[in-house]
């Protein structure tokens, strides 16, 4: 099952959204802003500069060269190995997430170019069960890195995830074994892995793959961490700094390499990719 074969996919979605409300209220400044204007502005409030949430599609559109999108994801969807049920059965949760996002899983995987440099890029969809990593996402990320090896190009991963998918229990946690092994192969092939952390990049996703980039760029306003603030605070019984788990804190403590504003992310990526390309000549 391949949902987005070509650019048609994006057009269909934009048309669908055009029917929805024309205005939205900015939570930060309280102003009513024209939705189209916000969209054209990378989902940044034209009035106060606040970042609105980006879907995976909007994010990938904002980063890659126009017309360069080619879906390279594997045609797989999640199974329910544990027969898991919380408020609702896991299969129902999956169906609802697919319906809501129009995606088969919580990640879009594409071959594309950024500033004419070919890449394989994965972008997580937070609205799909919190962008959580289960067996399918782990498999797609591994497949993405294998595609990058096949195509001899860099791998770019844009994370937006709360962590491992609890509905898959240990199967979700096991993804780390796969992703780190394939990531090591990518390194052995001397192909760069650029990790982009956005709001939020936490838990099992941060641990399993996002923190393993050769270069790690965080979007301004990203939340970066493993366990939740409250859990850490109670475990170590100490007050945490105010900016704990912010992108600024992560940069200060050497966990990431760069912080970029959303509007600069594309050029920042192009610069880093260009640097690696120079290095291979």
Nearer to Zn ion, 49 or 91 (CB): 49
Nearer to Zn ion, 47 or 277 (CB): 47
Q: Smallest distance from the beta carbon of 35 to Zn ion, in angstroms?
A: 13
Nearer to Zn ion, 46 or 169 (CB): 46
Q: Smallest distance from the beta carbon of 54 to Zn ion, in angstroms?
A: 16
- Cβ atoms of 155 and 194 closer than 8 Å: yes
Nearer to Zn ion, 45 or 112 (CB): 45
Q: Smallest distance from the beta carbon of 201 to Zn ion, in angstroms?
A: 24
Main-chain phi, psi angles of 92, to 5 degrees: -70, -40
Nearer to Zn ion, 44 or 108 (CB): 44
Q: Smallest distance from the beta carbon of 29 to Zn ion, in angstroms?
A: 3
Nearer to Zn ion, 50 or 71 (CB): 50
Q: Smallest distance from the beta carbon of 213 to Zn ion, in angstroms?
A: 31
Distance CA 102, CA 96 (A): 10
Nearest one of 265, 276, 248 to 61, comparing CA atoms: 265
Residues found near Zn ion in the complex (CB under 5 A): 26, 28-29, 45, 47-48, 50
Residues with Cβ within 8 Å of residue 80, at least 6 apart in sequence: 89, 90, 91, 94, 167
Q: Smallest distance from the beta carbon of 48 to Zn ion, in angstroms?
A: 3
């Amino acid at each position: 099952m391949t949902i987005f074969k070509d650019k048609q996919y994006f057009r269909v979605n934009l048309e669908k959204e055009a029917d929805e409300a024309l205005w939205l209220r900015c939570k930060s400044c309280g102003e009513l802003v024209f939705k189209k204007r916000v969209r054209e502005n990378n989902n940044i409030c034209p009035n106060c500069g606040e970042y609105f949430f980006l879907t995976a599609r909007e994010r990938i559109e904002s980063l890659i060269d126009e017309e360069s999108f080619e879906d390279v994801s594997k045609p797989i969807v999640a199974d329910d190995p544990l027969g898991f049920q919380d408020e609702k059965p896991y299969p129902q949760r999956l169906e609802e997430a697919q319906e809501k996002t129009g995606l088969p899983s919580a990640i879009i995987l594409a071959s594309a170019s950024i500033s004419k440099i070919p890449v394989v890029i994965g972008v997580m969809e937070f609205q799909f069960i919190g962008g959580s990593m289960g067996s399918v996402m782990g498999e797609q990320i591994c497949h993405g890195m294998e595609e990058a090896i096949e195509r001899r190009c860099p791998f770019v991963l844009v994370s937006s995830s709360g962590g491992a998918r609890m509905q898959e229990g240990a199967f979700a946690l096991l993804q780390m074994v796969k992703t780190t092994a394939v990531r090591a192969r990518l390194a052995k092939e001397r192909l760069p892995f650029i990790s982009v952390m956005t709001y939020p990049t936490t838990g099992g996703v941060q641990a399993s793959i996002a923190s393993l980039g050769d270069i790690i760029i965080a979007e301004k306003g990203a939340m970066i961490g493993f366990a939740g603030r409250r859990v850490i605070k109670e475990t170590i019984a100490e007050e945490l700094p105010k900016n704990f788990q912010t992108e600024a804190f992560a940069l200060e403590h050497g966990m990431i390499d760069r912080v970029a504003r959303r509007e600069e992310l594309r050029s920042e990526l192009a610069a880093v990719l260009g640097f690696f390309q120079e290095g291979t000549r």
